[in-house]
Structures are given as structure tokens and as C-alpha cells.
Structure 1
Amino acid sequence: MNSALTVINEQVKYFYLVRRLSLYEMKSSNTNNYLGMLWELLNPAIQISIYWFVFGFGIRNRVGEGGIDFFPWMLSGIVVWFMINQGLLQASKSVYTKIKMLSKMNFPMSVIPNYVIFSKLYPHLMLLALVIIILSLLGFPVNIYYLQLPLYIIGVLLLLYAISLITSTLSTIVRDVQMLLQSVLRMLLYLSPILWDVSRIDQEWLRVIMKINPFYYIVEGYRTSLLGQGWYFIDEWQYTLYFVGVVVGLFIIGSALHVKFRRHFIDFL
């Protein structure tokens, strides 16, 4: 528990640095591209088009309890996946890829995965704004349930950071962890309710197992907000408590690992 409090204090104390470094990270990653930041929208657009073509024509045209067309249903859920995927992959290798460059700067190493995740927040907000416009044109206007979106945005940031404390530590010690994470994320894309409707599963026990995945909660939270389907965090209050418990548990484990091994990170480079 002391490790968790240490990491929390470090994030609060150096939050100004997290903001500055995250902006720098976002700009530097697009410096050599002619289209610059536009690629932060083009890449997701291309992937969404592919998924819509493959899955939109490969399954029934309407999904969910309200018989919603597949495209807006998929769009409202997949919008957060790009931040999850890129945030975890980049944050998990952030320590061993950036520690040499940042070793002379005076700030704790726990800040490194945090600012990398924050650098993915800005493109996510731009993509979210674009998705909101598209959904409005498709008949899903801005509604009162948008007020709960900040809760899910904060939730996914906390979840990503908690996981990245674990994965960035393990990846620094054993590089194979990064390759394993890439495979796990490919699998999670299909185990989360992004490209297909989990409610179609007849077996109740299998649906419960699917919900063990905390990203399920985030995706469904985004979807109910953007499509105006209800107050998800209230309607599914038991699942909300489970999600909070998972985040807290992962954060405690990640903080303990990070604080224990960070003095030795340089030895593994």
C-alpha cells in the first residue's frame, strides 16, 4: 500500500510535467509525416472502414436490444479501442525505450508510462468529437447521457496506467512481455463487445466470463452514452464496483512491482 501512495504522490507532484511531456510526445511522433496530426484520425478511419466492411456485411445488419444498425453500434464502441490499444502498447515499452533519454531529468520513473498514455488522450478526444458528429448525422444526436462520458474517459486512463505499471516493469526485465502483450491485445479486440454483440451468446455463464474483461465495461459505457441508451454506471452499479475494484487492485500490484524494481531498471538495459 505504501508503494501505491508513493506513486500517487509522484503523479500529483509532477502532473504539470506529465502534461508538457505528453504534448511533446504527441507532436514528436508526427513530426516526420507530411500530414502530421491528421494521421491520428486517418489511421482509425481506415481501420474502422475495414472492420465495417468485413463484419458489417458478414453479420446481421442490426445488433443490440434496440435493433441498431451495425455501423453506429460499432463506431460508438470502437472509438475508445484505439486509445486502449496504442496507449497500452506504447506505455508498456516506455520505460526501457525512454529511460536513457530521460535519465538526466529530475522526475520519478512512474511518470514515464503516465505521460505516454496522456499523449494518446488528445487524439482520442479529436476522434471522439468526429464520431459524435457522424453519429448525429446518423440519427443519434447529442443527449443528456453524454454527461457520463468523462467518467469512462477517466476510468480508461486509470485502467491503462494501472496495467502499464505492471507491463512496463515486466517488459523492462523481460522483453518478451511486449510481444505477449501485442498478442493479448489482438485477442481482446474480439473478446470485447466492439465488433460483435456479446448478448447474442445463449450461455449466461459465458457472458459472465466475457464481462471479467474490464475493457468490456469501458466499451459498453461509451456505447450507452453515445447512443443515448441510459446511465450505464448506475444501471450496472455492481459492474461499476467490480471495475473500480479491478483498477485499484491492478494499481496496487503495479505500484509494488514498479517501486521494487525501478532502482534496477538501468541494469536491464
Structure 2
Amino acid sequence: MDKILSIAQEQWQHRKLIWKLAIYRTKSKYANHYLGVFWDILQPALQVLIYYVVFGLGLRGPRSDVDDIPFLIYLISGIFPWLFISSSINGMSNAISGQMDLVTKMKFPASIFLTISFVNGLFSFIITTTILMVIGFIGSYSEPGHYISVIYVLFATYALVMGIALIMSSLVIIVRDMRNVLQNIIRMLFFLTPIFWSLSEANEILQRLSSLNPFAYLIMNYRYAFVYDEAPLYGDMVDHIYFWTLTLLLIFIGSQIYYRFKDRLVDYK
């Protein structure tokens, strides 16, 4: 528990530095691009187009709605948060290994690189979420009061991904194959998460797998904020308890691994 609190304290104490470095890295990322920050809209839009053609016009055929929601809107509300989640996992898991030169020279903890990477992706997430919020408001899919629950989704995403990244940021340096393992796990979870398919239409096995998939919990809560009008949050108390128990377990394991190897990572590089 002390290690978890120590990592949380590191993020809070260096919050201003995290914000400044995240902004600097974002500016540097698009410094030589003509379209600049517009890529944060274009890239997810292209992915939505591809999946809509394949799954919306191709596999689904004439069926255009999912749970009484137009398939395109349903797809957008799944793709946007998934791109943020998957890119955050990849970015945060490789954040320390990508800055090993600084790790040996800096006077601040390496763990803040994880949060810096998360904040980098947050800028794109805000843009895509704003687009979906406008669509949801115009289409009256959800109650505007439900939009505030996206803050909960963001916090839950950070907690879960931080737990995964604390584990993987050390393992990808110690065991190089872990990068490939991580990529394949993310690819598998993409198809096990209700992004372009509905939980209500899935068979019992897929529904069971989804109930054990923390990313399905995040995606569905994001949807409930903008395109479902049943409630501001998805799931019952069992779903919430399961998600946070798993998340806290990952954070605990990750903090143990991080502190065990944080002073010896340079030896593995």
C-alpha cells in the first residue's frame, strides 16, 4: 500500500512538470506536419470509416441499428474511447523504455513518464469526445446530465491503464518479447469488447467474456454517457466492484514490480 501511495504522491508533486512536458511533446509531435492537430480528428475518422464499411455496410447488411441506435453512432461511441485506451496502454507501457537516456540523468521519478504519456493522448480524447457530445446532443440520444459521467470514465481509464503500465513498463525492458505479447493481447481484446457488436445480441459465452473484460466496462460506461438514456452509468454494483477490485489488484502488482526493478532498468537496456 505504501508503494501505491508513493506513486500517487509522485504524480501529484510533479503535476505541473507533467503538464508542461505533455504539452511540449504534443507540440513536437505535430511540429513538421502541415495538418497539425487536425490529425487527431482525421486518424480516428479514417478508422471509423473502415470499420463502418466492413461491419456496417458489409457484415451487418441491411440492419442499420444496434440497440435502437444508428450503427454509425454506436461504432463511433466505441471506437473513440478504444483508440484512447489502446494508445494509452501502448504509450504508457513503453514510456520509460523510450526515455532511458533521461531516466539515468533526471532528478524526478520515472513513473511520471507514464502519466505524461496518458496526458498526451488526453488531448485527442477531448477532441473526439467533444465531437460525440455534439452528435449525442443533436440526436438527443442521452440526457445532457449524463455527460458528466465521462469524468468517471476518464478516471477509471487512467487507474486501469496505470496498473497495466506499471507492470508492462518494466517487463518490456527486461523481456523484449513482452512488446509483442502486449500487442497481441490488445488486438484480441479489441474483438472481445463490444465496439461494433451489441451485448444484447451476443451469445452467452461472449456476454460472459465481456463481463470479465474491464475494457468492456469502460466502453459501455462511455456509451451510457452519450448515446444511452437508461442511466448515467453502465452495470450494477457487482460490475463496479469487479472492475475496481481488478484495477486495484493490477495497481498493487504493478507498484511491486516497478519498485523492484526501477533502479536496475538501465542494466537491462
Measured against the shorter chain, the TM-score band is over 0.9
Separation (CA, whole Å) in 2 of partners of 1:28 and 1:81: 24
Amino acid at match of 1:94: A
Change (3 A) 1:198 1:140: closer
Amino acid at match of 1:194: I
Change (3 A) 1:122 1:217: same
Correspondence for 1:87: 88
TM superposition shift of 1:232: 4.8
Separation (CA, whole Å) in 2 of partners of 1:142 and 1:238: 24
TM superposition shift of 1:218: 0.6
Residue 184 of structure 1 aligns to a residue whose secondary structure is: helix
Change (3 A) 1:91 1:102: same
Residue 229 of structure 2 aligns to a residue whose secondary structure is: coil
Separation (CA, whole Å) in 1 of partners of 2:233 and 2:129: 20
Amino acid at match of 1:90: G
Separation (CA, whole Å) in 2 of partners of 1:263 and 1:78: 38
Correspondence for 2:227: 227
Change (3 A) 1:124 1:265: same
Correspondence for 1:128: 129
Separation (CA, whole Å) in 2 of partners of 1:8 and 1:132: 31
Separation (CA, whole Å) in 2 of partners of 1:120 and 1:197: 27
Equivalent pair of 2:18/2:112 in contact (CA under 8 Å) = yes
Given the alignment of the two structures, is residue 260 of structure 1 paired with residue 260 of structure 2, yes or no? yes
Change (3 A) 1:232 1:240: farther
Correspondence for 2:22: 22
TM superposition shift of 1:206: 4.0
TM superposition shift of 1:176: 1.2
Residue 181 of structure 1 aligns to a residue whose secondary structure is: helix
Q: 1:85-108: per-residue Cα shift (whole Å, max 9, x none)?
A: 111111111111112135322111
Change (3 A) 1:195 1:214: same
Q: Counterparts of 1:109-128 in structure 2 under 5 Å?
A: 109-128=110-129
Q: Aligned-residue CA RMSD in angstroms? A: 1.7
Correspondence for 2:141: 140
TM superposition shift of 1:133: 2.0
Q: 1:23-57: per-residue Cα shift (whole Å, max 9, x none)?
A: 12222222221111111111001001111111112
Separation (CA, whole Å) in 2 of partners of 1:55 and 1:260: 45
Q: Normalising by structure 2, what TM-score?
A: 0.93
Equivalent pair of 2:96/2:103 in contact (CA under 8 Å) = no
Correspondence for 1:104: 105
Correspondence for 1:171: 172
Q: Structure 2: where are the runs of 5+ without partners?
A: none
Given the alignment of the two structures, is residue 61 of structure 1 paired with residue 68 of structure 2, yes or no? no
Residue 262 of structure 2 aligns to a residue whose secondary structure is: helix
Residue 126 of structure 1 aligns to a residue whose secondary structure is: helix
TM superposition shift of 1:235: 5.1
Amino acid at match of 1:248: L
Given the alignment of the two structures, is residue 9 of structure 1 paired with residue 3 of structure 2, yes or no? no
Q: Number of residues paired by the alignment?
A: 266
Amino acid at match of 1:28: S
Equivalent pair of 1:145/1:228 in contact (CA under 8 Å) = no
Separation (CA, whole Å) in 2 of partners of 1:198 and 1:23: 38
Q: 1:214-245: per-residue Cα shift (whole Å, max 9, x none)?
A: 01111000111101423353752221111111
Correspondence for 2:200: 199
Correspondence for 1:149: 150
Q: 1:3-36: per-residue Cα shift (whole Å, max 9, x none)?
A: 2122122112112221112112222222221111
Amino acid at match of 1:260: R
Equivalent pair of 1:63/1:70 in contact (CA under 8 Å) = yes
Separation (CA, whole Å) in 2 of partners of 1:231 and 1:197: 17
Separation (CA, whole Å) in 2 of partners of 1:196 and 1:48: 14
Separation (CA, whole Å) in 1 of partners of 2:42 and 2:206: 36
Separation (CA, whole Å) in 2 of partners of 1:241 and 1:156: 15
Separation (CA, whole Å) in 2 of partners of 1:145 and 1:139: 12
